Amino acid sequence: MSDDATGVDPTGDAARVSLVLVSHSRDLARGAVELAGQMAPGVRLIAVGGTPDGELGTDFDGIERAFAQALEGSRSAVVLMDLGSAVLTAESVLDLADEATQARVKLADAPFVEGAVAAAVTAHGGADLDAVLAAAEGAGRMYDGARGEVAPAADANVTEGAGDAVADDGVVRVTRTLLNPMGLHARPAAVVSRMLAGYDAKVTVNGVSAASVLALMKLGATQGTELRIEAVGPQAAEAAQVFATEVERGFGEI
């Protein structure tokens, strides 16, 4: 079934990359769309799950329709699949599609749920097709690599308290205490990632990329955790500041 779509508001941003989530199970596809959609309300997300009569399996014609729907308005699309026949069927549909479709649809070799969330948030930030694909495919490595991506700054260099500072090495460092009772969970993580996409700066928090929702969630930051924000790049100061402000206001949750 491909009638379970979110983000299909025709007034929405047509330039954003769409996602098609193909599962053996209708519930699983819908659930993944629901989860990813919460963090990327402006992205067209289409669920295709189960056979046409609602059993477990894959639906060739349903996937074909979902591709067409995902590409409306000159969009491009990244597709995530759960198990064997979902992959094979999505590949078959693409093989038989016209060249215009083949050029605008990419199948991701990615974990279904994590990949969908990472791709949705990246698409929401306005990234192009290759970047959304890379976000999906990079999601599988988050479990073992999240904390090691960027070396954290030595504590001596961190400016404590409310002050911001640009150190000699050009890194803007700000430290704030996380106020949210629920910690840095999915929604605030998505807020951070989405917000920072608009700045020309590389931002890390406690050593992980703030552009990655999954990396942020993997920090496991709970209420009271010190967040060491570090930014480099032309808009480092602005990026660090908006991040710090969001932490102070509890990402709108408190």
Partner 1 sequence: MSVDVAWAVEWVRRSAQTIAEHRDELIELDRQIGDGDHGENLDRGFRAVVAKLDALDEAPAQIGDVLKLVATTLMSTVGGAAGPLYGTAYLRAAKATASADLDSAGVVALIEAALDGIVARGKATAGEKTMVDAWTPAAEAAVAAADAGGSPADVLAAAAKAASVGAESTIPLTATKGRASYLGERSVGHLDPGARSTELLLAEAAAAAAA
Q: Which of residues 32, 39, 48, 59 is near partner 1 by CB under 8 A? A: 59
Residue of 10, 74, 95, 169 that binds partner 1 (CB under 8 A): 95
Catalytic residue, candidates 16, 24, 176, 218: 24
- Which of 3, 9, 27, 61 binds partner 1 (CB under 8 A)? It is 61
Which parts of 150-169 interact with partner 1 (CB under 8 A)?
Answer: none
Distance between CA atoms of residues 41 and 187, nearest Å: 11
Q: Which of 12, 31, 51, 157 binds partner 1 (CB under 8 A)?
A: 51
89 touches partner 1 by CB under 8 A: yes
For the question of residue 24 being annotated catalytic, the response is yes
DSSP, res 200? S
CA distance 149 to 74: 35
Contact 188, 254 (CB under 8 A): no
Among residues 92 and 157, whose Cβ is nearest to partner 1?
92
* Cβ within 8 Å of residue 123, ≥6 positions away: 16, 17, 18, 19, 40, 43, 78, 132
Contacting residue, 57, 126, 140, 207, with partner 1 by CB under 8 A: 57
Please, which residues have CB within 8 angstroms of residue 86's CB and are 6 or more apart in sequence?
22, 23, 24, 58
Query: For residues 135 and 209, what is the distance between their CA atoms, to the nearest angstrom?
Result: 12
Least distance (Å) from partner 1 to the CB of residue 3?
18
Distance CA 48, CA 115 (A): 16
SS3 29: helix
Q: Is the Cβ of residue 65 or residue 147 nearer to partner 1 in the bound state?
A: 65
Closest distance to partner 1 from the beta carbon of 201 (Å): 41
85 binds partner 1 (CB under 8 A): yes
Binding site for partner 1 (CB under 8 A): 51, 55-61, 83-85, 88-89, 91-92, 95-96
| Residues noted as catalytic | 24
